[in-house]
Chains A and B, each alone.
Chain A
């Protein structure tokens, strides 16, 4: 049925069909709505905040009231205002580190896959060694050597993504390199650069996007975890990770200081994962069809 419909449609690039099919799925739509919602809070939230993020408004751990929607935090600041202000840093930093890491990984992966066997082997061996460090451990190692700095953290998180992305992209690209249309391009004398950009890259967009989605959820987790451990943004900054850390001690008396930011982080990562998973399913289906 689907095939018949596709035949009749005006030919579209496979890629646009992919995105279209992805958002026809319920989970992808739900995920998209959640992600947009959280992004809205993160970007425009500060505009709606009744107080500034570092203003003392009530007694520490004051419960919810008419003026304080989510009560006060352990220091007496408005949880709601801090919540609205605390998304920018974590989502912004995560995005930067994801772009950095996936970008670097893509470069390494494409370069290795299209290089001579020996160069490829060498790059991937070094790459494999980098994989031995769990991401959070490597970030902590660097922080211990250089101290906390949000941009250092974003860069380091990105750096830890790179070998993982490189592995995935190289595997996908190496498979494409074996296909005959690459050999056809080599036989007519296409330059390596052109082969990478116009033959290889368009054929690894699916794993690349899946990887971007996955890495985004991991970035959020890592950036938030570093703040949560007290090694990221420093007080009095408003940041979801830091908020969880600060208000954890008063979880029993005033849970909102923890629940609001943690729910936002959880929803965002779940939303991204829903989209990624739906996309991956559609991409696998289409790629399979292509190989028949």
Chain B
């Protein structure tokens, strides 16, 4: 019997009636986990919050029915909702750093749910339960810990506290909204194990929302894939991951970095539309290789493929199978030639704190070295040292054998031109008050004194290189999507005709499908211009798709450095092994 049942739920913006999500139906049984997968703008968070009867300001559940443990949520009174929330159905937030109250001790934050939903129980019994649930989520439960405030905990601990709050009143249903987003892979896998164990043990039905297919594949019993406000495909885990039918699901799986390295990742061109930009017909049609005229005319109906497997596609019978592209072997560029960039014995500091320890990396012309590490490993500091943005270090960085100045301003103009840095967030790295054309042309003027029509022609070439339309030159950054902005940042760097691109986590702010197509663009660039890349990332699997060599960094030290296959197949460091094990993957 299903504890959660949604049928034909529509949620719309009150003003204008634009639908955020449409015709959402699914069920979850006790002890089962449903993974709800989608990229930004798909409406997955909207759906997940509706289970708690919560809608964003200015949005409303227009029609349909949501029942939780037999209670109808749509049209329930505030009082009914309050008695269900936290008691029968609980919520695990995405970012516990902002979702825990900074002004209350963690014991109080767990306790208040118990006090609200079990008002007749003694304080001592409640406190015993607080200690018990803390133990269950593998946190200490001593007095000192209970008295802490959220800021005194690590990110992983904060997330465990949030999980403890959710499970405190022994709910029947929990809703998890990407609860491992900010966590390192090792912490992530532990938190996921905790959630899985609690759900199984206590027979809790869970809705697990995520953009990360790999995480969902490790956790969920059933999966629903959302695109532009609709569920496009749903089924049990194996049906979705190994026998998917909808072109979007298939392409999404193909865009996923694969740690086993069997496949080259493949991006989806374009980006997911926001609710007010959705096309008529099938919303995926503009990005779909299989689209026919019918696809842009009418919205496909739900088609049942098997008892559990449903798909929303006009062409579910005859969509082309995507042929798996075998991974191109990438050899290690021989080190006999003089290194383009040499990092020798580098020790980096933040004031009195040392963050980099005796780092050595050599990059050959035309090769891609991936620098992998979790947050706080020092990888960004190292890349900033190379870019001339962090000058608090000892040791040497040399460019074709010549020592580089520490700060960008201490370097020669040619050196600044030849080493270009691309930042993590395309939302912050482009001046929002300047049109795109001016952003790129400034680079041409600065390094080549190029102006006027010559510059215009060059800008068009550069835009072609990064697959952006020419018309974009008059746009301002806020009119572009994240992927487009990152392409602009790449074009700006390329305008300098660099020898080395330092790419600092440049895809981490992007959707998986967009990430894959940016990676494709980078790969093509590397082949056509033979620019060398230092590709900095936290995602070990991603390096499979681009790197010749991989350096793994931990706590400021490079623990592993070698050719791609060497690192993946016979890692020397125990830490690399651990990363390989904990990185979620489709199995």
Chain A residues close to B by CB (< 8 Å): 1, 3-4, 6-7, 10-11, 13-15, 179-181, 183-184, 186-190, 198-199, 202-203, 205, 289-292
Does the CB pair B425–A180 fall under 8 Å? yes
Contact of A184 among B16, B411, B423 (CB under 8 A): B423
B427 touches A (CB below 8 Å): yes
A189 touches B446 (CB 8 A): yes
How distant is the Cα of A183 from the Cα of B384 in the complex, in angstroms?
A: 10
Q: B482 — nearest CB in chain A belongs to which residue?
A: A292
**Interface contacts beyond A13-B476, A186-B408, A188-B496: sample of 9 additional A-B pairs, CB < 8 Å, sorted by A:** A14-B432, A180-B429, A181-B430, A186-B389, A189-B413, A198-B434, A203-B431, A289-B478, A290-B427
Given A3-B276, A291-B427, A183 and B446 contact (CB-CB distance below 8 Å): no
Q: Which 3 A-B pairs have the closest CB atoms?
A: A202-B433, A180-B429, A180-B423
Asked, given contacts A3-B276, A6-B479, A199-B431, whether A184 binds B421 with beta carbons under 8 Å apart, the answer is yes
Checking A4, A6, A183 against B389 with a beta-carbon cut-off of 8 angstroms, the contacting residue is A183
Residues of B close to A186: CB separation below 8 A: 389, 408-409
Given contacts A11-B476, A11-B479, A14-B476, contact A189 B416 (CB under 8 A): yes
Contact A202 B431, beta carbon cutoff 8 Å: yes
- How many Å lie between the Cα of A290 and that of B431 in the bound state? 11
Closest residue to B439 on the A side, CB-wise?
A181
15 A/B residue pairs, CB under 8 Å, sorted by A: A1-B16, A3-B274, A3-B277, A10-B474, A11-B474, A14-B432, A180-B425, A181-B428, A181-B432, A184-B429, A187-B388, A189-B411, A189-B446, A202-B434, A290-B427
Say whether B475 faces chain A, with CB atoms less than 8 Å apart: yes
| Alpha-carbon gap, A100 to B561, bound state (A) | 60
Q: Which residues of B contact A6 (CB under 8 A)?
A: 479
Distance between Cα atoms of A262 and B496 in the complex (Å): 62
Q: Which of A10, A203, A291 contacts B433 (CB 8 A)?
A: A203
A1 CA to B276 CA in the complex, in Å?
6
Residue of A nearest to B412 (CB): A189
A15:B433 contact, CB within 8 angstroms: yes
Among the listed A7, A190, A202, A292, which residue makes an inter-chain contact with B446, where contact means beta carbons less than 8 Å apart?
A: A190
CB contacts (< 8 Å) of A7 on chain B: these are: 277, 479
Chain A residues within an 8 Å CB radius of B477: 290
Instruction: Contact check, A189 vs B496: say whether CB atoms are below 8 A apart.
Output: no
Residue B328, interface by CB 8 Å: no
Partner of B429, one of A181, A190, A198: A181
Q: Are B478 and A183 in contact, CB atoms less than 8 angstroms apart? A: no
Q: What residues of B have a CB within 8 angstroms of the CB of A291 in the complex?
A: 427
- Nearest to A204 among chain B residues (CB) is B433
Give Cα A184 to B490, complex, Å: 12
How far, in whole Å, are A181 and B425 apart by their CA atoms in the complex? 10
A187-B425 contact in complex given A3-B276, A14-B433, A202-B434, C-beta closer than 8 Å: no
* Interface positions of B (Cβ within 8 A of A): 15-16, 18, 274, 276-277, 387-389, 408-409, 411, 413, 416-417, 420-421, 423-425, 427-435, 443, 446-447, 474-479, 492, 496
- Tell me the nearest residue of chain B to A202, going by C-beta: B433
Where chain A touches its partner, the secondary structure class is helix
In the complex, A1 Cα to B496 Cα: how many Å?
39
**Residue among A181, A188, A205 with max Cβ neighbours from chain B (10 Å):** A188
Query: Complex Cα distance A121/B408, Å?
Result: 24
Take A1-B16, A14-B476 as given contacts and tell me if A187 and B431 are in contact as well, using a CB distance cutoff of 8 Å.
Answer: no
Residues of A within 8 A of B432 (CB): 14, 181, 203, 290
Nearest B residue to A12 via CB reads: B476
Contacts of A14 on B, CB cut-off 8 Å?
432-433, 476, 478
Q: How far is the CB of A16 from chain B (nearest CB, A)?
A: 11
- Chain A residue numbers with a CB within 8 Å of B475 are 11
B446 neighbours in A (Cβ, 8 Å): 188-190
Cα distance A57–B421 when bound, in Å?
77
Measured between alpha carbons, how far is A290 from B428 in the docked complex, in Å?
Answer: 9
In the complex, chain B residues whose CB is within 8 Å of the CB of A292? 427
Cβ–Cβ contact B476 & A187, under 8 A: no
Bound-state Cα–Cα, A256 to B423, Å: 65
A3 to B408, CA, bound (A): 38
- The complex places the Cα of A188 from the Cα of B423 at a distance, in Å, of 13
Instruction: Contact check, B433 vs A188: say whether CB atoms are below 8 A apart.
Output: no
Q: How far is the CB of B82 from chain A (nearest CB, A)?
A: 30
Complex CA–CA separation, A76 to B413 (angstroms): 76
Cα A202 to Cα B439 with chains together (Å): 14
Closest to B434 in A: A202
Is the beta-carbon distance between B416 and A188 smaller than 8 angstroms?
A: yes
Tell me, in angstroms, the Cα distance from A5 to B512 when the chains sit together.
Answer: 28
B408 interface neighbour in A10, A13, A188, A198, Cβ under 8 Å: A188
| Among candidates B15, B389, B433, B447, residue contacting A187 with C-beta atoms closer than 8 Å | B389
Find the A residue at minimum CB distance from B384. A183
A231–B389 Cα gap in the complex (Å)? 54
CA distance A14 to B420 in the complex (A): 28
Q: Report how far A290 CA is from B429 CA in the complex, Å.
A: 12
**Could you say which residues of chain A place their CB within 8 Å of the CB of B474?**
10-11
A202 CA / B425 CA spacing, docked (Å): 20
Q: For residue B30, give the distance in angstroms from its CB to the closest CB of chain A.
A: 37
Kindly provide the distance from the CB of B215 to the nearest chain A CB, expressed in whole angstroms: 24
Q: Which residue of B lies closest to A183 (CB)?
A: B389
Are B433 and A189 touching (Cβ within 8 A)? no
CB <8 Å contact, B428 and A189: no
What is the minimal beta-carbon distance from A42 to any residue of chain B, in angstroms? 34
Which of A4, A179, A187 is close to B428, meaning CB atoms less than 8 Å apart?
A: A179
Q: By the criterion CB–CB under 8 Å, are A187 and B408 in contact?
A: yes
Taking CB atoms, residues of chain A closer than 8 Å to B476 are: 11, 13-14
Q: Which residue of A lies closest to B13 (CB)?
A: A1
**Roughly how many angstroms separate A10 CA and B413 CA in the complex, as a whole number?**
37
